[in-house]
Amino acid sequence: MKTIMKTTFKLVLPFALLALAYLFYTKTTALSPAQLDMVKWAPYGIFLIGGIISWKFNRSREFFILTVLALGLAAYTDLAGALTLKGLAARRTDLHLLISLLLPFNIALFSFFRERGILSLWGILRIAAIAAQVGLAYWLLDPARQPLLQTLGKTWIPAVKSSALTPLSQVSLLLFLAALIILIVRQVSHRSSQDISFIAVLCALFYALHQTGGGNPVLYAVAFAVSGIILIVSIIQDSYSMAFSDELTGLPSRRALKQDMMKLGMNYAIAMLDIDHFKKFNDTYGHDTGDEVLKLVASTIKDVTGGGKAYRYGGEEFTILFPGKNSTDVLPHLEELREKVSKRAFTLRRSGRGKGKSGRKARGRGSGKARSKQIYITISIGVSQKSDKHKTPDTVMKSADTALYRAKKKGRNCVSK
């Protein structure tokens, strides 16, 4: 239940920030000119903070998207304003067209890139790609290239009356749609809070570009500011997850266990779990298969009953905290858990090709087909509780670890206290 709530919170939070930003925008009509100037400058402060945080945590994707957002906002507020003062309203429209093309393109582009550093070779190449786009935009804004921009902004599909619905060009709409589809597919396959944040940023920018048509700097500033905030929140969420969650199993990590142990009250029990013969299993079937076994066991023990919370302690060891319980209370729940693990089959797939005496792969009926083998995993559990002898969480855990070794000596696949 807690996992579902956490996942839902991560999905909803970026869009809740969008809603709050919209509510703030509706109140900007009551602000004074000085306050509106602060609103217009606020995104740059947010981008600076986001850039420092992403640099500190080595989050290159957010760093480069923040860079693109800063450049886009600067182009709109400074360059577009200068063009208007010079009476070049058409050039301002062309700039709005370029921004509406480049922003969704870059969000989709950087969503594909892996985290490979900011000042690394890969980071420098990405900086060069952004610089090339700035140069291309400057080149396209030359009056001699206006026919080319008109081509990008024209209606390519006359049957679709998009101009009646939005000032955005059909090419821009296509790029926004393509970026949205890419991010949704990535989210379904990877389930990353980064991609959810990128989707929310894409929605904020689309709304601002659609509403302004190149003429509402306050809405533009609010949309860019909330985009920066969403990216900062994404960095913090992912950094917290990396620090307090085990990447392989998805369970809370040892660091989270240490913190939660400090919150235990006057009465609690701690259980230590260990996968039986795991080293032998790893040596026989390989570490990749061993990782799958760890995931299987973790997916079972995370649903432990009796108010327990499971953690990955390290290697093949897991820990369960039972706040407000004693050993007698939790024994039935641990027995139920042990039985669930022992009855859950793990399917081991192997190649159907064998080797003959000559060392060559045998060719016969069923050659080349995958064969599967079901194996069963068991766990041993030791449990202890707070008492006059074991007064601190650390000593209770050591006592549970001692009980775990007793369980192994008894023949494994049992619970001992």
Residue 230 pLDDT: 96
Please state the pTM of the whole predicted model.
Answer: 0.75
Class of domain 254-352+370-416: alpha beta
What span, in angstroms and rounded, lies between the C-alpha atoms of 24 and 27? 5
Question: Taking a C-beta distance cutoff of 8 angstroms, is the pair 360, 394 a contact?
Answer: no
Q: Is the pLDDT of residue 360 over 60?
A: no
Q: Is the pLDDT of residue 234 over 80?
A: yes
Q: What is the largest CA-CA distance in the chain?
A: 89
Highest mean pLDDT among 6-10, 260-264, 282-286, 370-374: 260-264
pLDDT, mean over the chain: 85
Residue 350 pLDDT: 59
Which position has the higher pLDDT, 300 or 247?
Answer: 300
Alpha-helical runs (H) found in 213-343 = 217-244, 254-261, 278-285, 287-301, 327-343
Residue 403 pLDDT: 94
Query: What whole-number percentage of the chain has pLDDT above 70?
Result: 88
Count of positions (residues) in the chain: 417
Give the rounded distance of the alpha carbon of 218 from its chain centre.
Answer: 30
Question: Taking a C-beta distance cutoff of 8 angstroms, is the pair 178, 77 a contact?
Answer: no
Q: Are strands 415-416 and 379-385 parallel, antiparallel or unpaired?
A: parallel
Question: Taking a C-beta distance cutoff of 8 angstroms, is the pair 75, 95 a contact?
Answer: yes
Q: What is the pLDDT of residues 41-87, one digit of tens each?
A: 999 999 999 999 999 888 889 999 999 999 999 887 776 555 554 44
Q: What is the pLDDT of residues 403-417, one digit of tens each?
A: 999 999 989 999 998
How is the chain split into domains, by residue range? 2-244, 254-352+370-416
Q: What is the pLDDT of residues 85-117, one digit of tens each?
A: 444 455 677 888 889 999 999 999 998 887 777
Question: Taking a C-beta distance cutoff of 8 angstroms, is the pair 294, 316 a contact?
Answer: yes
Average pLDDT over residues 26-48: 93
Q: Mind giving me the DSSP string for 73-116?
A: HHIIIIIHHHHHHTT-HHHHHHHHHHHHHHHHHHHHHHHHS---
Task: pLDDT band for 367, please (50, 70, 90 cuts).
Answer: very low
Q: Is the pLDDT of residue 365 over 50?
A: no
Question: Taking a C-beta distance cutoff of 8 angstroms, is the pair 236, 14 a contact?
Answer: no
Question: Taking a C-beta distance cutoff of 8 angstroms, is the pair 416, 406 a contact?
Answer: yes
Edge-first strand order for the sheet with 268-275 is: 309-314, 317-323, 268-275, 379-385, 415-416
Average pLDDT over residues 288-310: 90
